[in-house]
Amino acid sequence: MILIAVALFAALSYAVTQSGRGSGSVDRERAMLAASSLVQTESRFQQAIMRLQLAYKCSETQLSFDNTVVTGYTNATAPSDKSCHIFDPAGAGLQFSPINVEYLDTSKAANTHYGYYYFTGNLTNYGFGSSTESELTLAIPYIKRDICLQINCNVGLGACNAEPLYSNSMYTFPSAKFTGTYSLHTTTGGGGSFLPPNIVHGCMKFNNYDYGASIGDVYVFFAVLIPR
């Protein structure tokens, strides 16, 4: 019975994977699995941060996302023994693995930050200026639209088939990777709506996401790792 169950699960996984390839839509089951996986990724980082804070007394400014894959995350205030590093065996020991390509819009593969996590201390409650305190935030850009809608459906951000909240003012975001400082980012131009304050995770739709380049609509998953 166990072998049969394993074989059926493998067949189902293959079928679901094949249905979600490319930049088009994915079926609802695949979207639900992807949405759950992204939220689990968020929880994995939150738990790692909590372990470092409890075991090594790491402050929110000492945390380091420095890794061997993506540059720009060196935190000068992190302990030299790397006990506050998320992606080091001396710290939390997580792997900086790429995002599952099945979750991503492959037509955006040439754009900045495609396929990887993005950590910043420049946002707050997804309100951009609604508070004087910025928060440690995880962003995963270029996810597929159907997955974005499913994430918002799961957390109750509007009707399940409603288009995500939209902004066309993201000419300079993301502007700073997290290196130990928190500085509230403000946008220029455009306008549009942002996710409601105090939402811990959700998905938004942006235009001109890639540093002002006209790349069309982009869907981005956000999650607060440390509320402040």
Q: List, for residues 78-133, the tens digit of each pLDDT value.
A: 999 999 999 999 999 999 999 999 999 999 998 888 999 999 888 776 444 445 67
pLDDT at position 77 is 97
What average pLDDT does the segment 134-162 reach?
88
pLDDT at position 201 is 86
pLDDT per residue as tens digits for the range 181-228: 988 765 443 444 455 666 788 888 877 665 556 677 889 898 889 887
What's the pTM? 0.80
pLDDT per residue as tens digits for the range 23-81: 445 688 899 999 999 989 999 999 999 999 999 999 999 999 999 999 999 999 999 99
Count of structural domains, the chain: 1
pLDDT at position 57 is 97
Q: How far apart are CA 3 and CA 210, in angstroms?
A: 47
Q: How far apart are CA 103 and CA 41, in angstroms?
A: 13
The answer to whether the beta carbons of residues 225 and 189 sit under 8 Å apart is no
Burial profile 151-185: b = 16 or more Cβ within 10 angstroms, e = fewer: bbbbbebeeeeeebbebbbbbbbbebbbbbebebb
pLDDT at position 19 is 44
Question: Can you tell me whether residue 136 is helix, strand or coil?
Answer: strand
H helices present in 56-204, as ranges: 145-155
* Structure token pair of residue 119: 């950590």
Q: Which residue has the tokens 């159907």?
A: 146
CA atoms within 13 A on the CB side of 210: 14
135-141 sheet: strands from edge to edge: 118-123, 135-141, 217-226, 201-207, 166-167
218: domain range?
2-226
The answer, yes or no, to whether residue 167 has pLDDT greater than 90, is no
